[in-house]
Structure 1
Amino acid sequence: MDRLELTDLAALLRDAAGDGEGVPLDEDTLDTLFMDLGYDSLALLQVTGVIERDHEVILDEVALDEAETPRQYLDLVNAALSARAAA
């Protein structure tokens, strides 16, 4: 995978938080805080672990803590995936 798309992130979050938890992610929610969408730090931690394991990439923990919206999270993950691909 060269890029994590919003649909991918939404599926990972649903798996981590449970199908009944959280608000569906779409273009209108890209800049909404994860907490306002119903996703807590544990769900994000689980998603991060899956991404790191499945895509053999290490994500910056400090930057992850600062990624409070889906757009910020996707930007961080996609930058790491791009860097890995360029290496």
Structure 2
Amino acid sequence: MQPTEFTLTDLVEIMRSCAGVDEGVDLAGDIGDTPFVELGYDSLAVLAFQARIQERTGVPMPDDTVTHMPTPNAAVEFVNRQIQAGVR
């Protein structure tokens, strides 16, 4: 069953499983508005997140979606807008 909401906790779980965590980054902290690049995740890592998000939620995540997801909060908001719009 696909979720009806995607959370920052869901994203952090995906971030940890896809690309690991830089030792200097506290993903348990307030990371919502911190750009992925400042968290140590490059565009390839974000593409990996997108693929995993699509698997988990059913929301299509084309490669250009990365431009809509510069921060964790932006990514969560993007996915939830798609879920609410019924885009799956």
Q: Report 1:46-85 matches (<5 A).
A: 46-59=48-61, 61-84=63-86
Amino acid at match of 1:46: A
Which runs of 5 or more structure 1 residues have no equivalent in the other structure? Answer: none
Which runs of 5 or more structure 2 residues have no equivalent in the other structure? Answer: none
What TM-score, normalized to structure 2?
0.77
- Identify if the C-alpha distance between structure 1 residues 56 and 63 changes in structure 2 by more than 3 Å, giving closer, same or farther: closer
The residue that corresponds to 2:22 in the other structure is: 21
Paired-residue identity, %: 33
Q: Report 1:30-45 matches (<5 A).
A: 30-45=32-47
Aligned length: 85
The residue that corresponds to 2:6 in the other structure is: 4
The CA RMSD over aligned residues, in Å, is 2.3
What TM-score, normalized to structure 1?
0.78
Higher normalized helix content (fraction of residues):
1
